[in-house]
Amino acid sequence: MTSPVTSLVADNVTKTFGGIHALDGVTLDARPAEIHGLIGPNGSGKTTLLNLLCGYYKPDGGAIRVGEKDLTGASVQSRARLDIARTFQKPRLLGSLSVLDNAMLGGWVHTEAGFVETLFGMPRALKDERRTRDSARDILAAIGLGDIMDRRADVLDHAHQRFLEIARGLVLGPKFLLLDEPAGGLAEHEIEALADVLRTLRDCGLGILIVEHHTDFVFKISDRVTTLNLGQTLRHGTPDEVRTDPEVIRVYLGA
Ligand SMILES: Nc1ncnc2c1ncn2[C@@H]1O[C@H](COP(=O)(O)OP(=O)(O)OP(=O)(O)O)[C@@H](O)[C@H]1O
């Protein structure tokens, strides 16, 4: 598949677990400055595709690329260096650390100091830390967590935990942000706030891929939508094209 140079592409990927074909020849591209919604019934392969894109799994067939660069065998760490960040269905935070410290964990990828320099708090390590702290503070403030930066992560409510996970991903300075059910468990006004944040990030040039069951939210916020079913692409198009597709209605959305 040819694609715009800087897209993150899953090209004809397959993934099997035992006898289960979780993905069977799926192609999808996440483009810069675009929100791409990925929907489909339970078990249709959405999270597996996200895990292939960020390097948690290797595909059994097909390829993962950013532009012309083949990432198929690349580790999660090297993909983080290649500007791919993700969040999880259940936020994975370090509860005993503060909001600020959790956000700063996203900055490891940009540190220049080596292990020994960090261990002994040498100048380059201190500079790394200052830079990451400043960046984390700015992002937390922008995402609405500026007033609770010193709070422990484990006392945050669910919405704040979700926003903190996104902030941590952003401290990485990614070009692509992969979100696994970011609206899960959020109230309507929190979903509105999430939509505002994602639109702003998109308008700043970030490519965003959202796996989500909250289809109203997906259709409202996405530029393009892909529907999976049984590990295959059922429909791909604009939100209107997908929402009104008879097969998508039959298999997933209901009449
Ligand atoms: N690590 C694994 N080991 C075995 N089977 C797996 C594994 N991960 C996924 N599967 C199977 O692959 C299929 C696709 O799962 P996946 O989690 O990608 O679907 P999904 O669309 O994200 O579902 P949901 O909406 O419920 O999160 C399912 O049949 C699932 O049981």
79 with 178, same domain? yes
Ranges of beta strands (E only) in 88-206 are 176-180
Closest ligand 1 atom number to CA of residue 15: 12
Total tally of structural domains belonging to the chain: 2
Pick 24 or 113 by higher pLDDT: 24
**Mutation test residue for ligand 1: of 44, 215, 228, the one with most atoms within 8 Å of CB:** 44
Highest mean predicted confidence (pLDDT) among 9-13, 52-56, 83-87, 141-145? 9-13
Domain boundary among 139, 171, 203: 171
Q: Average pLDDT, stretch 121-142? A: 76
User: How far apart (Å, rounded) are the C-alpha atoms in residues 115 and 103?
Assistant: 20
191 with 206, same domain? yes
**Mutation test residue for ligand 1: of 15, 42, 52, 212, the one with most atoms within 8 Å of CB:** 42
Spell out which residues line ligand 1, taking CB within 6 angstroms: 17, 20, 22, 40, 42-48
110 with 54, same domain? no
Q: Cα Rg for the chain, rounded, in angstroms?
A: 19
Per residue in 11-46, pLDDT (tens digit) is: 999 999 998 999 999 999 999 999 999 999 999 999
Best CA proximity match to 135, nearest among 97, 174, 162: 174
Q: Average pLDDT, stretch 147-160? A: 92
Question: Atom 1 of ligand 1 has which residue's CA nearest to it?
Answer: 17
Distance 146 CA to ligand 1 centre (A): 36
| H or E element in which residue 191 lies | helix 188-203
Kindly list the distances between the CA atom of residue 45 and the CA atoms of 102, 128, 191, in Å, as whole numbers in the listed order: 29, 39, 24
User: How far apart (Å, rounded) are the C-alpha atoms in residues 197 and 203?
Assistant: 10
Q: Average pLDDT, stretch 185-208? A: 94
The total of other beta-carbon atoms located within 10 Å of residue 67's CB is 12
Distance 19 CA to ligand 1 centre (A): 12
Distance 202 CA to ligand 1 centre (A): 28
Burial class (CB in 10 A: 0-12, 13-18, 19+), 17: exposed
17 with 33, same domain? yes
78 with 204, same domain? yes
162 with 209, same domain? no
Pick 230 or 254 by higher pLDDT: 230
pLDDT, position 3: 47
What residues contact residue 181 under an 8 Å CB cut-off, 6+ apart?
Answer: 89, 211, 212, 213, 214
| Confidence class for position 171, pLDDT limits 50, 70, 90 | confident
3-state SS of the chain: helix, strand, coil percent to 5? 40, 25, 35
194 with 247, same domain? yes
30 with 79, same domain? yes
Provide the mean pLDDT of the chain. Answer: 87
Question: Atom 12 of ligand 1 has which residue's CA nearest to it?
Answer: 22
Residue 177 has pLDDT above 60, yes or no: yes
User: How far apart (Å, rounded) are the C-alpha atoms in residues 141 and 185?
Assistant: 23
Closest ligand 1 atom number to CA of residue 45: 18
The total of other beta-carbon atoms located within 10 Å of residue 116's CB is 9
User: Which domain CATH number covers 62?
Assistant: 3.40.50.300
pLDDT, position 133: 84
Q: Average pLDDT, stretch 126-145? A: 83
Range of the domain at 203: 1-83+174-254
At 166, give phi and psi (nearest 5°).
-65, -45
Distance 13 CA to ligand 1 centre (A): 15
Residue 117 has pLDDT above 70, yes or no: no
Residue 2 has pLDDT above 50, yes or no: no
Closest ligand 1 atom number to CA of residue 211: 22
User: How far apart (Å, rounded) are the C-alpha atoms in residues 113 and 124?
Assistant: 6
154 with 188, same domain? no
Per residue in 219-230, pLDDT (tens digit) is: 999 999 999 999
65 with 115, same domain? no
Domain boundary among 131, 149, 171: 171
Closest ligand 1 atom number to CA of residue 89: 27
Tokens found for residue 137: 């503070």
Are the beta carbons of 95 and 153 closer than 8 angstroms?
A: yes
Measured distance between the N- and C-terminal CA atoms of the chain, rounded to whole angstroms: 34
Domain boundary among 171, 201, 233: 171
Distance 83 CA to ligand 1 centre (A): 25
77 with 179, same domain? yes
226 with 154, same domain? no
